Amino acid sequence: MTNDDEMAFEMALIRRAAAVEVLLRRLLDDRPLSGEIARPDRLMAAMRHGVLNGGKRLRPFLVMESAALFSADGEAALRVAAALECVHCYSLIHDDLPAMDDDDLRRGQPTVHKAFDEATAILAGDALLTLAFDIVASEATVLPAERRAALVLALARAAGAGGMVGGQKLDLEAEQTPPDEAGIITLQAMKTGALIRFACEAGAIIAGAPAEDRERLAEFGSAIGLAFQLADDLLDLTADAGQMGKATGKDAAAGKGTLVALHGANWAHSQLHGLVGQAHALLDPYGDRAALLKEAATFVATRNS
Amino acid sequence: MTNDDEMAFEMALIRRAAAVEVLLRRLLDDRPLSGEIARPDRLMAAMRHGVLNGGKRLRPFLVMESAALFSADGEAALRVAAALECVHCYSLIHDDLPAMDDDDLRRGQPTVHKAFDEATAILAGDALLTLAFDIVASEATVLPAERRAALVLALARAAGAGGMVGGQKLDLEAEQTPPDEAGIITLQAMKTGALIRFACEAGAIIAGAPAEDRERLAEFGSAIGLAFQLADDLLDLTADAGQMGKATGKDAAAGKGTLVALHGANWAHSQLHGLVGQAHALLDPYGDRAALLKEAATFVATRNS
């Protein structure tokens, strides 16, 4: 990859994030939609606090770029991207709760239960998860109903007991009983991997691409999900809190095993190199059109915050 | 209504509940589904604890009977009914949390955060909500994708910030600032009304019935939702804890206004009578086929537990 590719990726990431931001702000408006009775303003404010927080919007980027790979409808991809970000942000709100990871800061700002209160944070998370399925299923997501239903199903599988939420449960258990290597891999594939895999797979579903493409994009998502987690574990070891905007070294302090702790930083760097190569190879059939997605894989593996 | 109608209703309620119970048990199995990585057993156990608790399954009954009114597919109705019960049970798990209503008992059993822990209860609720959308969107819910997507959307609207979750937020705020009569009506229409309304409307959606029928069933749902809440408020004033299987008199103790507190028991009984009449009239066009649904309206208004 050249420096130009890197810059093109960073520009595209910022552009996509801006579009998602506009849509999220609209979706989190105080005005009730058809079928809704009223939207309590403190609840909506808490939802906005948890979502409109200046995140990089990496998952939405992956949805939109994967969709663009198959020339899918951009408006539909944007809505699915926003829905996925709602799921990601709900999971952060609930993870930050005192009964869970008990974090006071997120991106340098008070977490939702600090800025509001615990009950409001629980409900804001619940409402964001619910809203995500609303967004995907709505006719405003201009896709055939078959694809909207398939997206709801894939998102629910990625986010539920057998995906992200299950991974969070395993992560909490890992504080009591450190898992073995296979256990760590399962935990991470669920906790962070499942949503990233969905992000990439979603593009193919939105486009109605053949099953082979859908599977290829899902595998790409799995590879960069693994890379994302390895990079995160490396950062947790080495970065200071200012760089991350949140407390660091917490995993080690909580006694949680990571693959980096098990095998060391050199091994992790070599793994990351391999995963990026694997991710790139999966996208080779799509030629130049996959340049930004390939650069996203490199970014995920080498990010320093 | 004769005594025979009442008995027919009670038998039907038990029969429907048994069918839902079997399906819920299967859906909450430990074995991961396609697209899932693993189902952590303590998480699944907590989900089962929160769902398989001997509830009357009134909302599932309403889904199935409304669907039967239009000769809809019974298997599809059963799955939507189970999904709705997952949403109802998730809301109870989260409502019972220490940061919310702080209840230790539910139907005479320890609440999920008591039987497990707070973090597990939060995650079990999250996973049940997610599972509900999984169930509805799945092709195993043998309906055209258009109807599955419409059901996902209607369920999300009923359960989200503009429905049940928003109502729970208003309910928490009512402890600080007692709402006026209009505020109480909005709160109750959201907190308990929205899901009951969805239950009745869902039957028409499952059957692909005309919009007019869908609206009529939704209105029926609204009427019995109001009746349900009035009966609940009356019970809260008069019943003892043994009868309800949970703490009673809590609303009054928390300073929450109810319409019964505002207008008295006699007014409430007269309102209930009117609501049952209104609910029955809405179903008159369906003749004898609506007998069980009509009896359900009577049951909701006159139940003593």
**A23 token code pair:** 């849509």
Band the pLDDT of A304: cuts 50, 70, 90. confident
Integer Cα distance of B204 and B206 in angstroms: 5
Q: What is the pLDDT of residue A241?
A: 45
Task: Please list every residue in chain A whose beta carbon sits closer than 8 Å to the beta carbon of residue B190.
Answer: 37-38
Determine whether the interchain pair B166/A125 forms a contact, defined as Cβ–Cβ distance below 8 Å.
no
Cβ A163 vs Cβ A194: under 8 Å: yes
Q: Which residue of B has its CA nearest to A99?
A: B119
**Cα-Cα-Cα-Cα dihedral sign, residues B178, B180, B181, B185:** negative
**B73 token code pair:** 């597919």
String of b and e for B182-193 (b: at least 16 CB within 10 Å)?
ebbbbbbbbbbb
Cβ B80 vs Cβ B154: under 8 Å: no
End-to-end CA distance of chain A: 20
Integer Cα distance of B114 and B216 in angstroms: 41
Task: Please list every residue in chain A whose beta carbon sits closer than 8 Å to the beta carbon of residue B123.
Answer: 94, 165, 168-169, 172
CA atoms in the 13 A half-sphere facing the CB of A174: 26
A35: left (phi over 0), alpha (psi -120 to 50) or beta: left
The beta-carbon neighbor of A126 closest among B145, B155, B165 is B165
Task: Please list every residue in chain A whose beta carbon sits closer than 8 Å to the beta carbon of residue B139.
Answer: 149
The beta-carbon neighbor of A166 closest among B43, B156, B167 is B43
| B230, amino acid identity | L
Integer Cα distance of B233 and B257 in angstroms: 10
Band the pLDDT of A8: cuts 50, 70, 90. very high
Determine whether the interchain pair A36/B122 forms a contact, defined as Cβ–Cβ distance below 8 Å.
no
Q: Mind spelling out the 3-state secondary structure of A246-282?
A: CCCCHHHHCCCCCHHHHHCHHHHHHHHHHHHHHHHHH
* Mean pLDDT along residues A205-211: 98
Tell me the backbone φ, ψ of residue B110, rounded to 5 degrees: -60, 140
Cβ A201 vs Cβ A80: under 8 Å: no
Q: Which residue of A has its CA nearest to B183?
A: A38
Rounded to the nearest angstrom, the minimum Cα separation between B136 and chain A is 8
The beta-carbon neighbor of B99 closest among A118, A139, A162 is A118
pLDDT score of A252 more than 90: no
Determine whether the interchain pair B190/A38 forms a contact, defined as Cβ–Cβ distance below 8 Å.
yes
Residues with Cβ within 8 Å of B153's Cβ and at least 6 positions away in sequence, in order, are: A35, A134, A137, A138
Band the pLDDT of A237: cuts 50, 70, 90. confident
Cβ B125 vs Cβ B94: under 8 Å: yes
Interface test mutation site (partner B, options A93, A169, A195, max chain B beta carbons within 10 A) = A169
| A41, amino acid identity | D
* Mean pLDDT along residues A69-77: 96
Domain boundaries, given as residue ranges, for chain B:
3-302
Please provide the average confidence, as pLDDT, over all residues in chain A.
93
In this prediction, the residues of chain B whose per-residue pLDDT falls under 50 are 241
Determine whether the interchain pair A35/B162 forms a contact, defined as Cβ–Cβ distance below 8 Å.
yes
pLDDT score of A238 more than 90: no
Interface test mutation site (partner A, options B42, B95, B102, B130, max chain A beta carbons within 10 A) = B130
Integer Cα distance of A200 and A208 in angstroms: 13
Integer Cα distance of B114 and B104 in angstroms: 6
The beta-carbon neighbor of A127 closest among B145, B154, B161 is B161
Selection from A59, A77, A57 nearest residue A68 by Cα = A77
Of A49-63, A239-253, B124-138, the poorest mean pLDDT is in A239-253
Integer Cα distance of A218 and A35 in angstroms: 35
Determine whether the interchain pair A122/B138 forms a contact, defined as Cβ–Cβ distance below 8 Å.
no
Of A1-5, A179-183, B120-124, B135-139, the poorest mean pLDDT is in A1-5
In terms of C-beta density within 10 A (0-12 exposed, 13-18 middle, 19 or more buried), how is residue B9 classed?
buried
**A17 token code pair:** 């994030």
Q: What is the pLDDT of residue A255?
A: 52
Rounded to the nearest angstrom, the minimum Cα separation between A1 and chain B is 33
CA atoms in the 13 A half-sphere facing the CB of A126: 35
Q: Which helix (H) or strand (E) holds B223?
A: helix B211-238
Q: Which helix (H) or strand (E) holds A109?
A: strand A109-110
Q: Are strands A109-110 and B109-110 parallel, antiparallel or unpaired?
A: unpaired
Q: What is the pLDDT of residue B37?
A: 92
| A222, amino acid identity | S
Q: What is the pLDDT of residue B186?
A: 96
Task: Please list every residue in chain B whose beta carbon sits closer than 8 Å to the beta carbon of residue A155.
Answer: 133
Rounded to the nearest angstrom, the minimum Cα separation between A168 and chain B is 8
| B100, amino acid identity | M
Cα dist from B69 to A137, B142, B217, whole Å:
26, 18, 10
Q: What is the pLDDT of residue B257?
A: 79
Q: Number of helices and strands (H, E) in chain A?
A: 16, 2
Cβ B156 vs Cβ A131: under 8 Å: yes
Query: Which CATH code for domain A3-302?
Result: 1.10.600.10
pLDDT score of A253 more than 60: no
* Mean pLDDT along residues A50-66: 96
Integer Cα distance of A248 and A258 in angstroms: 14
Band the pLDDT of A96: cuts 50, 70, 90. very high
Q: Which residue of B has its CA nearest to A38?
A: B162
Q: Which residue of A has its CA nearest to B125?
A: A126
Tell me the backbone φ, ψ of residue B53, rounded to 5 degrees: -125, 20
